[in-house]
Amino acid sequence: MTTTAYLSIAAVLFTAGALGTLLRSSAAGRLIGVELMLAAATLTFAAAGAGFRELDGQVAALIVVAAGVAHAIVGSALIASLREPR
């Protein structure tokens, strides 16, 4: 696949994530939307790195993945603490 195809897929992913974040009222739905947007950013960085034949894109993609993991952990902990009976 070409770089343009990867960037098109990333644009669709980002749009779906943005719509999910804006239209969902639940915290879990919004977290999923944000994770979709992070996946789109990761794909964009990786496609740009492959297109330019540089490792910078892959390094940036790894940083985005690490930030996404931290985001998912904190978000799921917040959701779990909100659902816990007091």
Please give the torsion angle defined by the CA atoms of residues 16, 22, 26 and 32, in that order, rounded to the nearest 10 degrees.
Answer: 30
Distance separating alpha carbons of residues 34 and 14, to the nearest angstrom: 9
CATH code, domain carrying 69: 1.10.287.3510
The upper half-sphere exposure of residue 50, i.e. CA atoms within 13 Å in the direction of its Cβ, equals 14
The total number of structural domains in the chain stands at 1
* pLDDT tens figures, 2-37: 889 999 999 999 999 999 999 988 888 888 898 899
What percent of the chain shows pLDDT beyond 70? Answer: 99
Q: Is the pLDDT of residue 86 over 70?
A: no
pTM for the predicted model, two decimal places: 0.79
List the domain range (segments joined by +) for residue 28. 3-83
Q: Which residues contact 5 (CB under 8 A, 6 or more apart)?
A: none
